Amino acid sequence: MLLVIAAFIGLATYTNVSTSPNIEDNITFEGLGFGSGLSASFEDQIALIRKIQFEVFKIAPIGEGIPDYQPREPADLMRFGQGLCFDRSRTFDKAFHYVGFESRHVYILYKNNLPFWRAVFRYRQPSHAVTEVKTSKGWMFVDSNTQWVAITRLGEPVNADDVWKRFSEFESPPPYLKDPWWAIRGLYSRKGQLYGAGIPFPEFNWPNFLTWFVLQK
């Protein structure tokens, strides 16, 4: 039993996905004009989030995804020039962190009238990858397939748990955000093929995932 626990801890450590920018990330973000340091103004924070989103989409719009088992860090995405949701969300995770926000990766797992554990292990269960950013007014959902952020018509940021529940409160939300889902913080890949581990073991940011698992928020 102790060997099993030790093996699991070793695998978890090996597959952990950090959101902290490294030197190459910093160079990439500097080249994109992302300045560090946050304004206390909520309006300025939203403008910065939208700017980062716009610049990433301008260079890497929706297109063919970076192949499995290949690096998809920010510099890789900029070189590849296109990507899927999990390619851009990885860059958003680090870019928001770089400019001073607290950010966390969110794995959107659609319910499709299934219980949670069945949906988790169901092959090709519909999913989406996004980022949450902590603004001065709370956590906010930032999409990675459209240049859309979750702010209601009244100017309230909405986190990933509640976007589909409050769908009617937004201006022009993407239609694929209407169906119910679970928002799993810190889960990057169920199969281990996206963020560098290269082995069939789920990839997590473990601090974010365990915080979500324990507190469910």
Concatenated DSSP letters of 17-72: ---S--HHHHHHHHHTT------S-HHHHHHHHHHHHHHHHHHS-B-SPPPTTS--
Nearest to 92 by CA among 25, 38, 189: 25
Q: What is the pLDDT of residue 188?
A: 92
Mean pLDDT by 10 residues, the chain (217 residues): 62 79 95 83 94 97 93 96 96 96 97 93 92 97 98 98 98 97 94 74 88 79
Give the distance, in angstroms, between the CA of residue 179 and the centroid of all CA atoms in the same chain: 18
- Asked whether the beta carbons of 120 and 134 are under 8 A apart, the reply is no
Indicate the fold that domain 2-215 takes in CATH.
C8orf32 fold (3.10.620)
- Determine the residue type at 56: V
Q: What is the pLDDT of residue 45?
A: 95
Q: What is the pLDDT of residue 38?
A: 78
Q: What is the pLDDT of residue 8?
A: 58
Query: What's phi and psi for 41, nearest 5 deg?
Result: -75, 125
Q: What is the pLDDT of residue 58?
A: 97
